[in-house]
Amino acid sequence: MTHIIAIANQKGGVGKTTTTINLAASLAATKRRVLLVDLDAQGNATMGVGVNKYQLTYSARDVLLERADPRAVIQTPPSLGFSVLPANADMTEAEIKLREVAAGDFALKLALESIAEDYDYILIDCPPALSKLTVNAFVAASGVLIPMQCEYYALEGLTALVDTINKIKRVINRDLEIEGLLRTMFDPRNNLSNDVSAQLLEHFGDKVYRTIVPRNVRLAEAPSHGLPVITYDPLSAGAKAYLALAGEVLRRHDGGQLRLGND
């Protein structure tokens, strides 16, 4: 069974793209077949895995607008361990065009149906807004993973996001659930961070991942080298956190265990 997970938060700078890249790499390290779908016009996930967004012949835009077959657009860099459906500024056109199409909310779902069996996990990096592209991700996905910083405005933004997820679930995609909430860039010395973390646990219970991603210099440096952190510095705190998150994701879905290296 293919698990399609949208990684979303309408607030920028919360570690959404970092989470998408490093969860993809960590799942791939357990010998799962993984596809990362970049839906963000900034193309940060694309560049963060070493694919040059400025040199794309085709992008996710062409897949969404049915101008190209997904398999012709997907790239699999040999050193990466997983595949990527890349994006760049052309996604702005897709955002506009999909608004003009009656079934515009279903473009990604239809595109992924033709390739889903090729992968165990498809992770979708959503734009930092509740846009048409984000709605496409929610319609295609079975779960939404929400990375968030434990800061003052976090819970307010989370309420709007959960309302949108519930609306999509009621109206379009009955299978959609909150996959989990991930606390990112966490500083345990900060009292506010600890207070917000406690509130998340109180309101969402076991939907909150036990894994906490700390602030980590190596994790921040890795994208500039076009590498996931488990490749850039596998012994770093960031690498260990995302491997732990992958373990949680696998256990939540099917009781799967980590299968690293040649085990």
Which CATH number is 136's domain given? 3.40.50.300
pLDDT at 263: 43
State pTM to two decimals: 0.94
Mean pLDDT over 175-179 rounds to 95
Q: Which two tokens stand for residue 185?
A: 């860039």
| Chain-centroid distance, C-alpha 29 | 17
pLDDT at 136: 97
pLDDT at 224: 94
Is 161's pLDDT higher than 50?
yes
Going by C-beta distance under 8 Å and a sequence separation of 6 or more, which residues neighbour residue 240?
none
Question: Is residue 71 situated within a structural domain?
Answer: yes
Question: Is residue 118 situated within a structural domain?
Answer: yes
Domain count along the chain = 1
Tell whether the torsion through CA atoms of 217, 36, 6 and 38 is positive or negative. positive
Question: Is residue 178 situated within a structural domain?
Answer: no
Least confident residue range of 121-125, 145-149, 256-260: 256-260
Full residue range of the structural domain in which residue 40 is found: 3-145+216-254
